[in-house]
């Protein structure tokens, strides 16, 4: 399976809670590069034109370049993500990236770990 397709399948499993018998949700999170412990937040953005455009264009590349662990789920009308804040400045960096998109974005309060999201 290609890397992008595998990441997409793992992110879908993580967000839906549906996983194969051979893998746990924590295995999926680990393979996506998400730490088991440490602060994180859920991000959600709605599309202005469902099915026609990505709600957060370029955000995956920007978050990756900023070395922030993440997983994204793209639906026809929204994009949902989990972003880990692995350094003290990571939250501010993530929020700055999201602001630059110009999209309508909601960010959950910071959680102590992805176990509690």
Task: For the chain, give the mean pLDDT.
Answer: 85
**Statement: residue 78 has pLDDT above 70:** yes
* Percent of the chain surpassing pLDDT 70: 92
Question: Is the pLDDT higher at 116 or at 40?
Answer: 40
pLDDT attached to residue 10? 87
Q: Where are the domains of the chain?
A: 36-116
CA–CA separation, 92 and 96 (whole Å): 6
Write the pLDDT tens digit of every residue in 6-28: 888 888 888 888 877 688 888 88
Residue 27 pLDDT: 87
Reported pTM = 0.81
Give me the pLDDT at residue 65, please: 94
What are the counts of helices (DSSP H) followed by strands (DSSP E) for the chain?
4, 4
Residue 38 scores a pLDDT above 80: yes
Q: Is residue 81 within 8 Å of 72, Cβ to Cβ?
A: yes
Nearest Cα to Cα of residue 40 among 83, 98, 81: 83
Confirm or reject CATH 3.40.1280.10 for domain 36-116, answering yes or no: no
Which tokens go with 29? Answer: 């999170």
């Amino acid at each position: 399976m290609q890397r992008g397709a595998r990441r997409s399948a793992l992110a879908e499993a993580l967000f839906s809670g549906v996983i194969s018998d051979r893998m746990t949700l924590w295995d999926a999170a680990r393979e996506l590069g998400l730490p088991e412990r440490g602060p994180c937040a859920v991000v959600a953005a709605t599309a202005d034109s469902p099915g026609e455009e990505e709600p957060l264009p370029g955000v995956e590349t920007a978050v990756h370049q900023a070395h922030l662990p993440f997983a994204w789920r793209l639906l026809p009308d929204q994009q949902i993500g989990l972003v880990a804040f692995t350094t003290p400045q990571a939250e501010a960096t993530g929020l700055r990236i999201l602001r630059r998109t110009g999209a309508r974005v909601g960010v959950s309060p910071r959680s102590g770990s992805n176990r509690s999201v």
